[in-house]
């Protein structure tokens, strides 16, 4: 008895290569004002943005002298969360600190 093999056709499927694209990044920016204390800004940078104390002091002075400074560059969700958290903490402390985000070129 002979076993017959069914007619088979081999098909090679080409693997589609997709490139993963990096998510767009956003800068979180602190804006200077005449009411928010420098000490609060330093504490905010340490607590929310995980800066070292020295880096936080340096950035606080940059914001104070130039009117604004970049606290960090993050993907959109993280940037939105950082803006919301920093703004909430500033309002709880009764400071008008403005924290915004903008696309990172």
Q: Identify whether the C-beta of residue 60 lies closer than 8 Å to the C-beta of residue 38.
A: yes
Q: What is the mean pLDDT of residues 24-49?
A: 96
How far is Cα 39 from Cα 102, in angstroms, rounded to an integer? Answer: 25
Is 14 inside any structural domain? Answer: no
| pLDDT, greater one: 1 or 86 | 86
Is 69 inside any structural domain? Answer: yes
Does residue 3 register a pLDDT over 70?
Answer: no
As for how many domains the chain has, the answer is: 1
CATH of the domain at 74: 3.30.1390.10
């Amino acid at each position: 008895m002979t076993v017959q093999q069914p007619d088979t056709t081999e098909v090679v499927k080409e693997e589609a290569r997709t490139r993963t694209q990096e998510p767009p990044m956003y800068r979180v920016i602190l804006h200077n004002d005449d009411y928010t204390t420098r000490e609060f800004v330093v504490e905010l940078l340490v607590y929310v943005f995980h800066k070292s104390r020295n880096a936080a002091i340096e950035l606080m002075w940059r914001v104070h002298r130039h009117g604004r400074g970049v606290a960090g560059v993050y993907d959109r969700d993280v940037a939105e969360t950082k803006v919301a958290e920093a703004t909430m903490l500033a309002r709880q402390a009764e400071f008008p600190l403005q924290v915004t985000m903008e696309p990172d070129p």
